[in-house]
Amino acid sequence: KFSVVHRTRRREDGRPVALKKVQVFEMGTSERTECMNEIRLLQSMTHPHIIMYLDCVMERNELTVVMELAEHGDLAGLIREAALTGVALTEAAVLRNFTQIADALKYMHERRVMHRDIKPANVFITSVAPTSCVKLGDLGVGRYFSSKTDMTHSTVGTPYYMSPECIQAGGGGGGYDFKSDTWSLGCLLYELAALRSPFYREKINFYLLGKRITSGTFDPLPGGFSAQLRELVDSLLRVDVAARASAADAYERAVAAAG
C-alpha cells in the first residue's frame, strides 16, 4: 500500500536486487529510528530460506530497503495458478515448501525475532523444481507502516492470516507473540494444500471472518492428504495459544511427515 518495488542491479558487483521504496510519512522520529534498527537486525540474519537484507537508507519521507531478488515470484502466485488450472500441489510439494518456511521461522524465533506477517505473498520463490527453494521475506517491519490503516476495509489480504488473539486485540498487532506467527504458518500450510485460506468464504465481511478465526472454524482439508499433514494443520490452527505448536515443533513434524 505504501511502497513500490523496483528490480535493479547493484553497481559494485552487478548483482540483481529488489529495491523497495516505502513512503513513511506517518512515522515519527522514534518510529523511524526503531524501524531502521530492526532492519539492521534483519541484516544480521543469515539463513538459506530467508530473503537477505543488503542495505537500507532513510531520506526525507522515504525508506529504501535493498534485498536479495527472488526471480520466480511468490507462493501467492503459485497457489493462484494452481487454483486456476485446477491442478493441486502434491503432498510432497506442499511439505517441501512448508518445511523450508518452518525452518526459516524456527531460526527467527530462536533469535527472538517475530515475522508478524506470514502469508503466501511474503514467501518468495528463488529457484524452481527439481531444486525449488522458497524464502521468507518482508520481515518484521510491516507494523511501522500501518498505524493509521483501517484493516477492516478489506478481506483480501493479511486479515485471513491473523491469529485469534490478534483479532481479539483489535487487529492492530496487540497481544502478538511467537505463537501468532505459527497460527499464520498454519493458515499458509492449509492454503498450500487446499489452494484457499482455511477461513475463506465468498462475500465474507471482516466481522464474520473474525468470528470464524476466533472460534477456529474451518473445513477439513480435501481428500488425498495424509493423516500426518492433517494433524500438522490442526496443531497450528489451535485457538488455545498454549496448545498451539511452535515453529520448532512444526518443522520437526513436517520433516517427519515428508520422510
Could you give the residue numbers annotated as active site? 117
> For residues 161 and 185, is the Cβ–Cβ distance under 8 A?
no
Strand 133-136 with 123-127, pairing? antiparallel
Per DSSP, the chain holds a count of helices (H) and strands (E) of: 8, 6
β-strands 53-59, 16-23 pairing: unpaired
User: Scanning the structure block, which residue is given the C-alpha cell 513436517?
Assistant: 254
> Grid coordinates 482455511 are at which residue?
198
For 89, 112, 130, 139, the CA distances from 38, given in Å and listed in that order, are 35, 12, 35, 9
> 215, 218, 221, 217: which is closest to 240 by C-alpha?
215
Closest CA to 99 of 259, 244, 221: 259
**3-class secondary-structure state, position 15:** coil
Q: Angle, nearest 10°, between helix axes 247-258 and 178-194?
A: 30
Secondary structure of residue 180 in the 3-state scheme: helix
Give the Å distances, CA to CA, from 140 to 20, 35, 112, 114, 252: 15, 9, 11, 6, 24
